[in-house]
Amino acid sequence: MQAHQGHYIDGAWRPAASASASASGPGPGSGDVIEVVNPATEEVIATVPAGTAEDVDAAVAAARSAAGAWRATSRDERLAALTRLRDGLAAQQDEISATVLAELGSPLRLARALHSTVPVAVTTSVLEVLAEFPFQEKVGNSTVYLEPAGVVGAITPWNYPLHQIVAKVVPALAAGCPVVLKPAENTPLTAQLFAEIVHHAGLPAGTFNLVTGHGTVVGAALAEHEGVDVVSFTGSTAVGRRIGAAAGRGVKRVSLELGGKSANVILPGADLATAVKVGVGNAFLNAGQTCSAWTRMLVSEADYDEAVALAAKTAERYAPGDPANPSTRLGPLVSAVQRERVRDYIGTGIAEGARLVTGGADAPEGLDVGFYVRPTVFADVEPGMTIAQEEIFGPVLSIMRYRDKEHALEIANGTAYGLSGGVWAADPAEAAAFARQMEAGQVDINGGAFNPAAPFGGYKDSGVGRELGRFGLEEFLQTQSLQF
């Protein structure tokens, strides 16, 4: 696994501006790099350039130079280029899995089943949308055209490093927009691998550009850049507010996919064993580092004790371990900072009076090396507790009791977030009726499967805008109408 010591700009790997400055003499920030750490071993496995505003300038200039020609491509030309990209992703799934395992700590089974396969499915979905998308329509005496919105600045997180890139970059390219990507500091190797696949797919120089670096430098420069027309960001709500403010000052279009504190509501009469089993798995997926995770399980008073016992038993199947072991379900968290954050939340939960059913803040037995956290289940969690209100981003589940449906809905909607959720009932229509009252952008009924063509995004502090399917493509289009 060899990292590029440069940025991918205008169709080639180019030395970072800081490296050029270092070659001509010492200067502030010259030669800066980001160390990529394996979360399971705590070893530095690679370094990548810590980009600067100058690198962003070069990438944006390349994108703007390519914008006219890419905008003018036909639907068929874009379909051909993006099909080659999709095929490249499919052909590189083994290397993608190995890279995500190494820099994110994703268990091998998850890296293969999710991190390398879902991006292929999402890209295929975008191709299907592009093939049929109506870029113009008649509205009365007007002809309305949907046009590329311009240069896109994409800022992606580390928890699903390839999926989040694909969910932004592929629809932007499909819309006719060139892209400058700034990936998360923790997982830049997956982004570099994506850039290689783009290159081999033969996309025109400048249509896709990659600058690695710190969010406070590269991310901020991208959000504020006068040459960027659209900013698409996925990450924490706190950072999203800053990105949105910076984009707003430049009157840019902005899409923000932010945090979540999703409720999994188990209604009386539902298949309790299945609902709890799937709910625990959802909360612990990707070591709990999922913005849409069902981190609050809401259970009726009559079913509560049984649900707690079932959750504790299910959690035992998620023993942390070496992500390279095919049997491991729960790997480490991405960094020491994230590990301490999650442990602090566990301590807060105990201090505020929640009942610790399993897990805890101590290091898992036999795992003194690596950023591991015990899979943790809390019971008797009250709606106002910190662990019931704030996004933890680790394998921590809060089980809460409700009196009736009205009380359950009050709890489910009682946070600042509104990204996702789940509802379980013996009658799917009953579950759907409850879900329609939830303040959430996406709700799964009785464990409904992920749909790459469905819109993904949230209400309230979970963000603005949508990704995936035609909804994701529309984020990168603007309208022009001609009246006759």
How would residue 165 be classed by pLDDT, with cut points 50, 70 and 90? Answer: very high
Specify the range with the lowest mean pLDDT, choosing from 9-23, 135-149, 243-257: 9-23
Give 113-143 as a 3 state SS string. HHHCCHHHHHHHHHHHHHHHCCCEEEECCEE
Indicate if the pLDDT at residue 410 is higher than 50: yes
Please tell me the predicted confidence (pLDDT) of residue 18: 72
Q: Does residue 1 form part of some domain?
A: no
Same domain, 370 and 413: yes
Same domain, 342 and 479: no
Q: Which of 224, 257, 391, 467 is catalytic?
A: 257
Q: Does residue 457 form part of some domain?
A: no
Same domain, 293 and 337: yes
Q: Tens digits of per-residue pLDDT, 347-402?
A: 999 999 999 999 999 999 999 999 999 999 999 999 999 999 999 999 999 999 99
Question: Which structural domain, as residue segments, surrounds residue 160?
Answer: 7-258+463-483
Q: Does residue 94 form part of some domain?
A: yes
Q: Which of 185, 291, 391, 430 is catalytic?
A: 291
Please tell me the predicted confidence (pLDDT) of residue 2: 77
Same domain, 284 and 311: yes
Please tell me the predicted confidence (pLDDT) of residue 27: 37
Q: Does residue 268 form part of some domain?
A: yes
Q: Does residue 2 form part of some domain?
A: no
List b or e across 339-351, with b for residues whose CB sees 16 or more CB atoms inside 10 angstroms: beebbebbebbbe
Please tell me the predicted confidence (pLDDT) of residue 358: 98
Q: Does residue 320 form part of some domain?
A: yes
Indicate if the pLDDT at residue 216 is higher than 80: yes
For residue 57, the domain's CATH number is 3.40.605.10
For residue 316, the domain's CATH number is 3.40.309.10
Q: For residue 420, what are the β-bridge partners?
A: 442
Tokens at 358, concatenated = 């399993």
Number of structural domains (the chain) is: 2
Indicate if the pLDDT at residue 8 is higher than 70: yes
Same domain, 247 and 116: yes
Predicted TM-score (pTM) of this structure: 0.96
Q: State the Cα–Cα distance between residues 54 and 61, nearest whole angstrom.
A: 11
Indicate if the pLDDT at residue 28 is higher than 90: no
Q: Tens digits of per-residue pLDDT, 145-158?
A: 999 999 999 999 99
Q: Does residue 458 form part of some domain?
A: no
Indicate if the pLDDT at residue 328 is higher than 60: yes
Indicate if the pLDDT at residue 20 is higher than 60: no
How would residue 21 be classed by pLDDT, with cut points 50, 70 and 90? Answer: low
Please tell me the predicted confidence (pLDDT) of residue 25: 41
Same domain, 428 and 472: no
Q: Tens digits of per-residue pLDDT, 269-301?
A: 999 999 999 999 999 999 999 999 999 999 999
Q: Does residue 455 form part of some domain?
A: no
Same domain, 135 and 51: yes
Indicate if the pLDDT at residue 100 is higher than 90: yes
Tokens at 152, concatenated = 């896109």
Q: State the Cα–Cα distance between residues 81 and 8, nearest whole angstrom.
A: 18
How would residue 1 be classed by pLDDT, with cut points 50, 70 and 90? Answer: low
When pLDDT is averaged across residues 463-484 and rounded to a whole number, the result is: 98
Same domain, 267 and 373: yes
Same domain, 66 and 135: yes
Same domain, 239 and 268: no
Same domain, 304 and 432: yes
Percent of the chain, pLDDT > 70?
Answer: 97
Q: Catalytic: 257? A: yes
Same domain, 163 and 280: no
Q: Catalytic: 291? A: yes
